[in-house]
């Protein structure tokens, strides 16, 4: 299950339990809408309560990241899990956004808000 929150140029997602393909599709739909109408966005993934993810989510994430390689400003990942930290680092291969891992939500949001506004 996921919860989503969005503000101008930011999409925040918190995952609880198993991250399923239906959850990921919900995330994709929101991000696609934001990109279409606002341009590049920053992402906040709160994975501290995630119990795992399905293989189809991993595959969908790779496809989505490649398709939107230039559509993200910054990506903050909240986790204390070393595997997820490594996974976040690997995802930088597919996107040109800065990706950082945090264990404190305030620090993550502060870093995301420090993003410069895009040129109009």
Q: What is the mean pLDDT of residues 44-64?
A: 89
pLDDT of residue 90: 57
Question: How many C-beta atoms surround the C-beta of residue 24 within 10 A?
Answer: 22
Task: Give the per-residue pLDDT at 71.
Answer: 93
Token output for 78: 């909240």
Residue 19, pLDDT > 70, answer yes
Tell me the average pLDDT across 4-31: 94
CB neighbour list of residue 87: distance below 8 Å, 6 or more residues apart: none
Q: Quick one: fold of 2-113? A: Rossmann fold (3.40.50)
For residues 86, 88, 92, 96, the Cα torsion angle rounded to the nearest 10 degrees is: -160
pLDDT tens profile 84-114: 655 665 566 567 888 888 999 999 999 999 8
Name which of 1-10, 13-22, 31-40, 82-91 the model is least confident about: 82-91
């Amino acid at each position: 299950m996921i919860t989503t929150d969005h503000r101008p140029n930011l999409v925040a997602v918190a995952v609880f339990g198993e991250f399923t393909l239906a959850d990921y599709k919900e995330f994709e739909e929101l991000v696609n809408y934001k990109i279409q109408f606002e341009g590049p966005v920053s992402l906040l993934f709160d994975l501290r309560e995630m119990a795992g993810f399905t293989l189809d989510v991993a595959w969908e994430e790779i496809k989505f990241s490649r398709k939107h390689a230039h559509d993200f400003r910054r990506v903050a990942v909240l986790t204390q899990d070393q595997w997820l930290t490594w996974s976040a680092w690997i995802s930088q291969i597919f996107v040109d956004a800065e990706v950082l891992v945090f264990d404190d939500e305030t620090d993550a949001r502060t870093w995301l808000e420090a993003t410069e506004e895009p040129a109009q």
